[in-house]
Copies of this chain bind each other. A is one copy, B any other.
């Protein structure tokens, strides 16, 4: 797994995407958790079914599906949905309307599981701890062509793609789709569950705060002042557009990330300091965790990131340079053209009603000693601080230039890198099922 190289920060070259598609599924989000009164009977029934084993990352997807982030998807994809997603990045509903669905959300099984399932219509889902967490109903089993899935999703089959190595290469040769039922809301017991608001809970929170605009910011890195500039400038522009109470959804990704990304717990602590230090206004900001695993699939994945936040009630979506991108795993270059993410997002089926506001690139202004929008007339005064560079500063204990990040936020990072032992740190939180 290579580290992203010579990449400017995510704050660069952003755009805002606007949507009026608050209710993509006719106003009702798919939620697939069994009512408490029926749990016991469903568990008893499910105990008799053949089963499919799930990894921690599969369970993260169960979390995602069960709360309606992927609504109108009602479970792991059957072949029709899989092909639609793989070839067209979308699903077509029975009424002919098209919704965006750029990533295949699928569950694999191996030959042994397939044989045990036989012709059973329903299958019990067993979590990584051995607990029965739900049922997949009216299942369909079809071939898992890994090579084609990887090529069409990532636009490369080069070895070293983090999600591929972690999830797809070790996966079974079959996919199983069906309607999902989950016995209980998925929890992680890692001290961060209070950050994990479902789309429904987020919508309630936006109503409570009387938001008339919600702008979401997806990230998987610490917040530096370039990000903050972008978010605060978005708010300013929304106010200028006539909105009275725009609310920022600061929405770090909480599922699987690659080993050299900063772990979720550290990022959440860092984000909280950014609010304490007043870089972002706590009055108009909601910090919550987006439970999806990360694919690092660039222009294909950014559509998923936008679509899921629209499901949660966001109507503006901020996109930076090279969203969901990384370094090419085997060559010294970015895997994706850094501009393709926003271009592809702007043409994505099912997201047609999004409006786009272009951003200038943010960089460190060495004269003003702060992150600022890049001014090409005095290019030499600006410093692009890449993610790699930021990690190098933090690892070495060296301070970045003044004004790059709020001091308390920076301290969190330094502490984390000091604590890092030689062993690899698993950055993916593990959902618990008991």
Give the contacting residue for A84; candidates B154, B156, B158, B347; CB below 8 A: B347
Please state the number of chain copies in the assembly.
2
A348 to B343 CA separation, bound complex (whole angstroms): 22
B157 and A156 contact, CB distance less than 8 A = yes
What distance in Å separates the Cβ of A416 from its nearest Cβ neighbour in chain B? 34
Contacts of A35 in B (CB 8 A): none
A143-B337 in contact given A148-B155, A152-B155, A349-B349 (Cβ < 8 Å): yes
Complex Cα distance, B147 from A337, in Å, reads: 12
A299 to B89, CA, bound (A): 15
Chain A interface bracket (under 10, 10 to 19, 20 to 34, 35 or more): 20 to 34
Q: A147 contacts which chain B residues (CB < 8 A)?
A: 155-156, 158
User: Given A151-B151, A343-B83, do A348 and B157 touch, yes or no (CB 8 Å)?
Assistant: no
Bound-state Cα–Cα, A365 to B397, Å: 78
Give bound CA distance, A98 to B98, whole Å: 12
Contact with B along A85-98 (1 / 0, CB 8 A): 00111101000101
How close is A188's CB to chain B, nearest CB, in angstroms? Answer: 33
State the CA gap A143–B89 with chains docked (Å).
23
Q: Which residues of B contact A425 (CB under 8 A)?
A: none
With A143-B337, A337-B145, A343-B83 as known contacts, state yes or no: A88 contacts B348, CB within 8 Å. Answer: yes
A57 to B96, CA, bound (A): 38
A96-B352, A98-B349, A349-B98 known; A87 vs B344 contact (CB < 8 Å): yes
Is A80 a contact of B343 with CB atoms below 8 Å? yes
Alpha-carbon distance A349/B350, docked complex (angstroms): 12
Contact call A83/B344, Cβ cutoff below 8 A: yes
Does A433 interact with chain B (Cβ within 8 Å)?
no
Q: Could you tell me if B89 and A87 are in contact, using CB atoms closer than 8 angstroms?
A: yes
| A62-93 contacts to B (CB < 8 Å) | 79-80, 83-84, 87-90, 92
Give CA–CA (A299, B145) in the complex, Å: 14
Cβ-closest 4 pairs across A and B: A148-B155, A151-B151, A151-B155, A157-B157
Chain A interface residues (CB < 8 Å from chain B):
79-80, 83-84, 87-90, 92, 96, 98, 143, 145, 147-148, 151-152, 154-158, 299-300, 336-337, 340, 343-344, 347-349, 352
